[in-house]
């Protein structure tokens, strides 16, 4: 049984730091390196959120070019992240990424057949 739903629900996605975005065109996959804060350790944990067998990626707000001109003095962070799972096993994610204070936002919608959320090694 996958531990994805439990781990996903345990993370506070509001103001969650997004450290890295990577795309693998051969695998048709997308990976986010996220860093939820661990109060017990007074430090950040790192997890890879991977979308595999992607069926679609859409942006309905913002512009992907805004990521290219991102000011590194600000942190990329999620404002929210939600998903649904169809009967056929397709995940549908919607999330909003903030590009810093008073900066543009990007809203993503991703559909994928497989999603994993695992500690980064």
- Mean pLDDT computed over every residue of the chain: 88
> Residue 44: phi, psi to the nearest 5?
-95, 145
Looking at the chain, how many residues does it have? 121
CA distance 116 to 12: 17
Give the per-residue pLDDT at 5.
85
Give the per-residue pLDDT at 1.
45
Supply the range of the domain harboring residue 111.
4-119
Q: Residue 47 in contact with residue 20, Cβ under 8 Å?
A: no
Please give the residue that has the higher pLDDT: either 56 or 121: 56
Q: Residue 99 in contact with residue 82, Cβ under 8 Å?
A: no
CA distance 29 to 22: 8
Which residue, among 30, 29, 96, has the nearest Cα to 60 in the 3D structure?
A: 96
Read off the pLDDT of residues 13-53 as tens digits, 9 standing for 90 and up: 999 999 999 999 899 999 999 999 999 999 999 999 999 99
CA atoms within 13 Å, Cβ hemisphere of 7: 16
Tokens of 9: 């629900």
Read off the pLDDT of residues 49-84 as tens digits, 9 standing for 90 and up: 999 999 999 987 666 666 655 555 567 899 999 999
Instruction: Tell me how many domains the chain contains.
Output: 1
Calculate what percentage of the chain has a pLDDT beyond 90.
Answer: 64
Q: Residue 98 in contact with residue 18, Cβ under 8 Å?
A: no
């Amino acid at each position: 049984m996958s531990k994805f739903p439990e781990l996903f629900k345990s993370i506070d996605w509001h103001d969650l730091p997004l450290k890295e975005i990577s795309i693998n065109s051969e695998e048709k996959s997308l990976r986010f390196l996220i860093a939820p804060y661990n109060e017990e350790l007074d430090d950040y944990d790192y997890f890879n959120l991977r979308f595999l067998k992607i069926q679609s990626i859409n942006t309905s707000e913002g512009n992907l070019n805004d990521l290219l001109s991102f000011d590194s003095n600000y942190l990329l962070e999620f404002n929210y992240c939600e998903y649904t799972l169809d009967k056929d096993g397709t995940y549908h994610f919607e999330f909003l990424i903030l590009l810093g204070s008073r900066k543009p936002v990007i809203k993503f919608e991703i559909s994928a057949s497989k999603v994993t959320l695992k500690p980064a090694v």
